[in-house]
Amino acid sequence: MEKNFFKKLRILDGGMGQELHAKGLISKGTLWSTSAVIDEKYHDLIIDCHLEYISAGAEVIITNNFSSRRIRMEQNKVNHLFEFANKKACELALKAREKSKKEIMIGGSIPAQHDTYKEDIRDKEVIHKAFNEQVNCIKDYVDFFYLDVISSGREIGIASEIITEYKKPILVGIHLNKKGKLPSGETITEVIKKYKHSSWIGLIASCVSMEIAKNSISELKKQGLPFGYKVNLWGDDEPSPVRKINKAKYNEDAVNLNTVMGKKEVAYETFKNLGKKFVDNGATIIGGCCETNPSHISILSSLKQDFV
């Protein structure tokens, strides 16, 4: 993959979890979309979701292993499937690319290794081991690594240090709160100043509301990296739907997330205007996260007509 890939306007894919659920997946425990990776009957569904995003104009798809981190597998008593789940998510993305017959880049999801949207304050050795295990599982399948919704500079630094050994580029996805800071309390500028690495090929606001993304433009823009976002469609003060899920384990009652997600409709024009505002300010990496679907990605793709 060329290190300059994100210096041109590129369209990322959108949310996978909600799309899979909308198409029939019923999650088990807190495994979220990893349930579809573990259960073979859903494999074609994952491929189809990737293909729909590609058809909508996505030039990059992210592997469906966000919830395949070690801690989630342990919580749901499927730890023995850790390697399988991570590798299978990559294989399904590769199959989707092959079926599409398009030159699609595959980003390997490397999420925060403990809670999502919270700083991981565990010992460095513990975090390092967790990141290293997941990176090692998927390194041979992906074009680059996507640090997926990371909440502190320290975690970004640890993950970057590991990934660098494998000589693959990194797209850094940082989570931001409504004050424009990472959950760790750090500003974007503080994180970049302390942890910026030569392997980074871009920086995006990751799984943030549209309002938070809009308010982050000026600080993202001044970091000297290709920048952009993967926005969700929640309001600034809404908790993640994941936090509403009961604590059933994988081998207990399944959880139908469609009953708890509380989808919010966002006008397509509003979504398009956010994309245009970013692109007008020099952003080259735009996509969706939770509650976005192929229609939203098609809207972003339409912006390329004016900015290629």
**Which pLDDT score, from 0 to 100, does residue 103 have?**
97
> Left if phi > 0, otherwise alpha if psi is -120 to 50, otherwise beta: which for 171?
beta
The string over 40-61, giving b where at least 16 C-beta atoms fall within 10 Å of a residue's C-beta and e elsewhere, is eebbebbbebbbbbbebbbbbb
**Which pLDDT score, from 0 to 100, does residue 244 have?**
41
**Which pLDDT score, from 0 to 100, does residue 260 have?**
39
Computed from CA positions of residues 158, 289, 70, 3, in that sequence, does the dihedral angle turn out positive or negative? Answer: negative
**Which pLDDT score, from 0 to 100, does residue 66 have?**
98
What CATH number has the domain bearing residue 263?
Answer: 3.20.20.330
Helix 43-55 × helix 294-302 angle, to 10°:
20
Helix (H, G, I), strand (E, B) or coil at 12: strand
**Which pLDDT score, from 0 to 100, does residue 262 have?**
44
**Which pLDDT score, from 0 to 100, does residue 308 have?**
54
Cα–chain-centroid distance for residue 28?
21
**Which pLDDT score, from 0 to 100, does residue 252 have?**
40
Q: Per-residue confidence of the chain (308 residues) as pLDDT tens digits?
A: 888 999 999 999 999 999 999 999 988 888 999 999 999 999 999 999 999 999 999 999 999 999 999 999 999 999 999 999 999 999 999 999 999 999 999 999 999 999 999 999 999 999 999 999 999 999 999 999 999 999 999 999 999 999 999 999 999 999 999 999 999 999 999 999 999 999 999 999 999 999 999 999 999 999 999 999 999 998 765 444 443 443 444 444 344 444 334 445 677 899 999 999 999 999 999 999 999 999 999 999 999 877 65
Domain count for the chain: 1
**Which pLDDT score, from 0 to 100, does residue 236 have?**
62
The C-alpha atoms of residue 6 and residue 264 are separated, in whole angstroms, by: 30
Write out the residue range of the structural domain in which residue 172 sits: 5-307
pTM: 0.92
